[in-house]
Amino acid sequence: MRTVRARLESLAEAGATGTLSLGDDGAFHLVDGAVVHAETAHTPSLRELLTASGRLTEQGWELLRAQGPGHGPASPARLGAAEFEAHALIHFFDAAFFLARSGHEPRFEDGKAPYWPECLAVDPVTLCVEIRRRRVLLDAAWPSPLADDEPVRPLRRVSRQRVILTGLQAEILLNADGRKTPSGLARELGRTRFGCVLAVRGLVASALVRPPGSDDGGARAEDGAPAPRIGGAPRWESQPRDGAFPAKWAHADLELLARLHDALRELE
């Protein structure tokens, strides 16, 4: 990511227009230094997000491509400009996150290349901050990438009386068959790959999905995987990378606690 970020920032300073290619992983498109598009085969396309989720039919997608958002009669095939831009931005950040992990050497080519949609413009600093934020979210859910590209295998028995799931986690458990990876489920459900990876990490941490390499009991089998525990995030076995989380709690602010105590007494 550091190499990609450095190139994007240098291109932004130069106000460059062109394509920053990362081998066969994909490319970033820039106009006047701003990143306006990210394309990669590693995430669902905008068409897949809209059609697989049921928001648009294939005919609606073709109408959108031909006429743009907001055109045509009010129907499930119509997508307003604001909603379309929101979906485009979601797809953009999803593609950029996984494209930034590429190990290929960035190569820049001048000249505006054809791309669609043309409704976004994000400066590289904002893009890198969002990528880092997503990495922190993944590490907070379960600090290991072992489950990110492996088939999702729900546990057949749940050793809890009560389970709280997000809507996406419920969809993943209902559609996982032990062969589909988070990426495959994302394409099938019309969801972002990042969203599915984050949801799966949360399911592993809650002991609802088997960690990769584990037996039916869900026990950890690889040294690189954190130990899951039922009912919350996994235990940290080492200091988190990049200093994303403190090693210990900060000292209590006694003055603040005293003010809170006085305020609560007044409410009695």
CA distance readout (Å), 264 to 154, 177, 256, 259, 268: 45, 52, 12, 9, 7
* Predicted confidence (pLDDT) at residue 227 exceeds the cutoff of 70: no
Are residues 13 and 102 part of one domain? Answer: yes
Regarding whether 157 and 110 lie in a shared domain, the answer is no
Tokens of 186: 């994302």
Q: Are residues 212 and 86 in the same domain?
A: no
> pLDDT by residue (tens digit) across 25-78?
999 999 999 999 999 999 999 999 999 999 898 988 998 898 888 765 555 557
207 and 180 within one domain: yes
Residues 31 and 56 in one domain: yes
Whether residues 174 and 62 share a domain: the answer is no
Answer yes or no: is 50 within a domain.
Answer: yes
* Helix (H) / strand (E) containing 139: helix 124-141
How confident is the model at residue 268, as a pLDDT? 52
Range of the domain at 54: 2-138
From 112, 138, 164, the end of a domain falls on 138
Over residues 71-126, the pLDDT tens digits come to: 655 555 578 888 999 999 999 999 999 999 999 999 999 999 899 999 999 999 99
Q: Mind listing the pLDDT tens digit for each residue in 127-184?
A: 999 999 999 999 999 999 999 999 999 998 887 788 899 999 999 999 999 999 999 9
- In whole angstroms, give the CA distance from residue 61 to residue 148: 30
Q: Residue 264 domain-assigned?
A: no
Which DSSP letter does residue 21 get? E
